[in-house]
Chains A and B, each alone.
Chain A
Amino acid sequence: MTILRHFTPRVTPTPSVTGVGPVLEVRNLKTHFQTERGMVHAVDGVSLTAEPGKVVGIVGESGSGKTVLARSIMGLLPRQGVFRSGEVLLAGRTISGLPESELRAIRGLEIGMVFQDSMSSLNPVVKIGRQITEGLEYHKGMHTAEARRLSLALLKSVEVPDPERRLDEYPHQLSGGMRQRVAIAMALACEPKVLLADEPTTALDVTVQAHVLDLLKDLQEDRAMAMILVTHDLGVVATRADEIVVMYAGQVVERAPTRVLFREMQMPYTQALLRSVPRIDGPRHATFVTIGGRPPDLTNPPPGCRFAPRCSRAQDRCRSEDPPLTAGRTIGHEFACWFPLGVGSPSREAPLTPTPTPTVGPSAERREF
């Protein structure tokens, strides 16, 4: 039986620029799905805060629960078979239990969201202009002409060339990068306090990716918005996030201000994640460091630390007791590990030998997800 993790605040949130507290707070959020195979603990006790003008990067592989987390915050989950607990507060007000009708008023107006697949956030049979003005008319009660003027300004701010023409075009007439910019424009139209970007550039080419991410950062800074950037790519958040939250198997395993995380990472998973990414700098032809095994089955999370089966440093305690989030040396740094990497540069402390390619045997039953 898993010992559920509790979020004990050991760290006072850094006071923000404006002096008011965090604009978005997630407290011990849990999202479980009832499936045929059992209750899937997709998100299992996650807490985080987002402050105006700051970017929080949520990093994890697929199956870590980061997308479910983003959707849980927005309340965009199916009605049936979902169990939620914990709270989500927006500017101090609890939104997690609100009915759909009230949530609709909040989405777009106070929280904007950008999804990975722009074709699914844009209605293929409605012109671009209309899709942007719709939100403005609904939330801000603008007149069409005024909304259109504002839409034009928005498209210019996201660097869409030839914006007047685009307003009357349909999504399929635009390229992927352009569509994503339009989606960003839509998300920002009503000037939300928080922007949730769920893998906004994963489906884009690398040159376009860089630009769209830079654009997001610029817009976020201009408007002193809080931004939550969900991604699987550490590279994306390394230079763009103020704080990084690393998720694994539905739980937060480490969080820290960005520079602190890269300098003093403690959780072996974070280190393994960083090392398994092929680098464009650094020596060539290194055998790629792999993280052996697969993410755990979230219907039956193993007792103890969920990363233990794949961790080269795991001991007995790791397998029986779930490590809580404990504070690191620096303020704002927390990690969940019984045998952290220790002080100093991670590469020198824990030489990770490349895990040999595992042989798939009878124990391999289910697919990766």
Chain B
Amino acid sequence: MTFSSTLAGGDGGNALLVLPDLAGTDARSRRLSVMFWISLGWIGLVVIVAIFANVLPLDSPTAIGNANPGLGPSWAHLLGTDELGRDLLARVVYGARVSLIVGVAATALGVAIGGTLGLVAGYLGGIADVVIMGAMNVLLAFPSLILALAIVTFTQPTLLHVTLAIGILSIAPLCRVVRASTISLSRREFVQAAQVVGVRRRRIIFREIVPNVLPTALAVALVAIPGAILAEGALSFLGLSVRPPSPSWGNMLSEGRDVLAKYPLIALWPSIAMLLTVLSLNFVGDELRGHLDVKEGGL
């Protein structure tokens, strides 16, 4: 933390005399909190386990008949078995793959397309802005889940299509955020200075605007990932994502729902997994965003 820039004199709105900025003064708030690291740890665990699922000593997630159905946690099956005798731990781990792939890929799609559109709309303004924002508003007006449903139903419910559907949904919010950021940056004097120098438009966008928009965009993206995971969960709960017997957290929930009274654990584990993952991602995203803002604001 440093003193905010205190400058005297001037006309109009540029005279500022500010007290030392004590908001970020506490040693505590400057460093990332314990919860942040725990959350990051959980995410890391999930990611590693999902990636290396093949080489881990797990049972097959789809093999039926190796064990009795509805077993509780034991050394042989750490999380128990489901109603068809499949190892729940393995299913949760493989299900994590689906969630993570969809979450990250869909959000990446949203950032790529939405971000680009936002940059163009924000920097160019005029007709481009009107057209792009019009399209975004249309997209936003659709009830999101129904749109995803529609897309997936009319094509095959595969991982790719699910990712695409959710990705399309992520475009509009990201476009908006990037556009707002771009507009406010375009007004800053360093962008005007680049224009006065005669730098080409494309270079200005990539060299001056993007580096300043990126932190905001990433922070928003980080919080969009859990949203995508939840969306996938909902879709697969409705049977519109990967087909059984491939596990995903959503379809495990769906299967577990039928036998909830008898074997509650089947629905419980994927729920917990999703909860923890989404919570951790939200946490990390929030902290990072706050951290980045402080640095920018400390100018």
Q: Taking the complex as a whole, does A directly touch B, i.e. does some CB pair lie under 8 Å apart?
A: yes
Contact surface of A with B, Cβ cutoff 8 Å: 33-37, 40, 42, 61-63, 67-68, 71, 77-78, 80-82, 116, 176, 198-199, 202-203, 205-206, 232-233, 366-369
- One of B1, B2, B5, B13 near A203 (C-beta < 8 A): B13
Interface-located stretch among B17-25, B82-90, B133-141, B161-169: B17-25
| A319 → chain B closest CB, angstroms | 25
Q: Mask for B109-121, Cβ within 8 A of A = 1, else 0? A: 0000000000000
| B12 proximity list for chain A (CB < 8 A) | 176, 203
Given contacts A35-B25, A63-B3, 13 further A-B contacts (CB under 8 A): A33-B22, A33-B25, A35-B22, A40-B3, A63-B6, A82-B22, A116-B17, A198-B17, A202-B8, A203-B10, A232-B9, A233-B9, A367-B3
Complex CA distance for A82 and B125, rounded to whole angstroms? 47
| B76 interface hit (Cβ, 8 Å) | no
Query: Which of B2, B8, B13, B19 makes the CB contact (< 8 A) with A61?
Result: B8
Given the interface pairs A199-B15, A202-B10, A233-B9, the reply to whether A367 lies near B2 with Cβ below 8 Å is yes
Residue of B nearest to A78 (CB): B22
Q: Is B11 an interface residue (CB 8 A)?
A: yes
A205 engages B17 (CB within 8 Å) = no
Chain B binding surface, main DSSP class: loop
Neighbouring B residues of A205 by C-beta, 8 Å: 11
Q: Point out the residues of chain B lying under 8 angstroms from A63, CB to CB.
A: 3, 6
Cβ contacts A to B, 27 pairs, < 8 Å: A33-B20, A35-B25, A36-B1, A37-B1, A37-B2, A40-B3, A42-B20, A62-B17, A67-B19, A71-B19, A78-B22, A80-B22, A80-B25, A80-B26, A82-B22, A176-B12, A199-B15, A202-B10, A203-B10, A203-B11, A203-B13, A232-B8, A233-B9, A366-B2, A367-B3, A367-B5, A369-B5
Asked whether any CB of chain A lies closer than 8 Å to the CB of B7, the reply is yes
Q: Distance in Å from the Cβ of A364 to the closest Cβ of chain B?
A: 14
With the chains together, A40 CA to B22 CA distance in Å?
A: 11
Are B19 and A68 in contact (CB-based, < 8 A)? yes
A199 to B6, CA, bound (A): 13
Output the nearest chain A residue to B12 by Cβ-Cβ distance.
A203
User: Which B residues touch A232, using CB under 8 A?
Assistant: 8-9
Q: Is B30 an interface residue (CB 8 A)?
A: yes
A71, A202, A368 interface centre (most CB from chain B within 10 Å): A202
| B interface residues, tally (CB under 8 Å) | 22
- A233 to B10 CA separation, bound complex (whole angstroms): 11
Task: List 3 tightest A-B contacts by C-beta distance, closest first.
Answer: A369-B3, A232-B8, A62-B6
Which residue, of A61, A62, A176, has the highest number of chain B Cβ atoms within 10 A?
A62
B27 at the interface (CB under 8 A from A): yes
B8, B13, B22: the one contacting A62 at CB < 8 Å is B8
Inter-chain CA distance A233–B30, complex, in Å, is 36
Q: Given A33-B20, A71-B19, are A202 and B1 neighbors across the interface (CB < 8 Å)?
A: no
Residues in chain A near residue B25, CB distance under 8 A: 33-36, 80-81
Q: Which residues of B contact A202 (CB under 8 A)?
A: 8-10, 15, 17
Inter-chain contact A67/B20, CB cutoff 8 Å? no
Which residues of chain B are within 8 angstroms of A369 by Cβ–Cβ distance?
2-6
Q: A residues within 8 A CB of B19? A: 67-68, 71, 77-78
Looking at the assembled complex, report how far the CB atom of B268 sits from the nearest CB atom of chain A, in whole angstroms: 43
Enumerate B163-181 residues with CB–CB distance to A below 8 Å: none
* Contacting pair B9 A81 (CB below 8 A): no
Query: How many Å lie between the Cα of A81 and that of B22 in the bound state?
Result: 8
Bound: A68/B6 CA distance, A:
12
Name the distance in Å between A147's Cβ and chain B's nearest Cβ. 32
Question: Nearest-CB distance from A230 to chain B (Å)?
Answer: 9
Q: Which residues of A contact B26 (CB under 8 A)?
A: 80-81
Q: Are A203 and B15 closer than 8 Å at their CB atoms? A: yes
Asked if A36 and B5 sit within 8 Å, CB to CB, the answer is no
A206 and B12 CA atoms in complex are apart in Å by 10
B6 with A36: CB separation less than 8 A: no
